[in-house]
A and B are shown apart, each in its own frame.
Chain A
Amino acid sequence: MLKLRGRVIKAGTAHGEALVSPEPIGFLGGVDPDTGVVVEAGHPLRGQSVAGKILVFPTGKGSTVGSYVLYRLAYKGLAPAGIINASSEAIVAVGAIIANIPMVDEIDITQIRTGDEVAIEGGWVTVRRVARADKDSGAG
Chain B
Amino acid sequence: MLAGKEGPAVQKAMEIVTALGKIYGAADLAPVESVQVAGVSYKNLGEAGLLFLQEWAREGARVRVPTMLNPAGVDLEQWQALGLPEEFARQQMAVLDAYAQMGIEMTCTCTPYLIGKVPGLGSHLAWSESSAVAFANSVLGARTNREGGPSALAAAICGRTARYGLHLTENRRATHIVRVNCPVRTEVDFGVLGYEVGRRVGKGIPYFVADNALWSAEGISAALHLRALAAAMAAGGAVALFHVQGMTPESELDEIVRPDAQEVVIPSLDEGYARLSSPLKSIDFVSIGCPHASLEELRDAARFLAGRRVRSLLWITTARETRRRAEAAGWVQTIEHAGGHVVSDTCLVVAPVEALGVKTMATNSAKAAFYAPSHSGLQVRLGTLGECLDAAVRGYWAPRRR
Contact = CB atoms under 8 A, between A and B. Distances in A.
B150 interface: yes
B45 interface: yes
Closest 9 CB pairs of A and B: A64-B148, A72-B48, A68-B49, A68-B48, A71-B52, A94-B150, A97-B15, A67-B150, A93-B19
A65 interface: yes
Interface string B13-53: 00110011011000000000000001100001111110110
Given A65-B39, A71-B51, A72-B47, A91 B23 contact: no
Contacts of A91: 148
Given A33-B46, A65-B44, A72-B48, 14 more contacts: A7-B22, A33-B48, A65-B39, A65-B46, A67-B148, A68-B46, A72-B47, A88-B23, A90-B23, A93-B19, A94-B154, A97-B12, A97-B16, A105-B23
B164 to A, nearest CB: 11
A108 interface: no
8 contacts: A65-B49, A65-B149, A67-B149, A68-B52, A68-B150, A90-B148, A93-B20, A98-B12
B151 interface: yes
B149 A75 contact: no
Contacts of A64: 38-39, 128, 148-151
Given A64-B148, A90-B148, A71 B19 contact: no
B7 to A, nearest CB: 14
A130 B215 CA distance: 66
A93 B150 contact: no
A97 B19 contact: yes
A55 B109 CA distance: 37
What is the interface residue range for chain A against chain B? 20 to 34
A46 B148 CA distance: 26
Nearest to A99: B52
A89 B20 CA distance: 8
A19 interface: no
B147 to A, nearest CB: 8
Contact of B151 (A7, A9, A69, A90): A90
A94 B151 contact: yes
What is the interface residue range for chain B against chain A? 20 to 34
A7 B18 CA distance: 13
Interface string B304-338: 00000000000000000000000000000000000
Taking chain A's interface residues, is the majority helix, strand, or loop, or is none over half, making it mixed? helix
A53 interface: no
Nearest to A64: B148
A89 B164 CA distance: 13
B215 to A, nearest CB: 33
Contact of B45 (A65, A90, A93, A98): A65
Interface centre among A7, A88, A90, A105 (most CB of B within 10 A): A90
A133 B50 CA distance: 45
A81 B45 CA distance: 23
A90 B22 CA distance: 11
A22 to B, nearest CB: 21
B166 to A, nearest CB: 14
Contacts of B154: 94
Given A90-B20, A97-B12, A97-B15, A71 B48 contact: yes
A113 interface: no
A68 B19 contact: no
A89 B145 CA distance: 14
Contacts of A67: 148-150
Contacts of A72: 46-48, 51
A46 B149 CA distance: 27
Interface in A50-70: 64-65, 67-69
A79 to B, nearest CB: 11
Contacts of B16: 93-94, 97-98
Contacts of B47: 72
Contacts of B22: 7, 9
B46 A98 contact: no
Interface in A80-115: 88-91, 93-94, 97-98, 105
Contacts of B149: 64-65, 67-68
Interface string B231-246: 0000000000000000
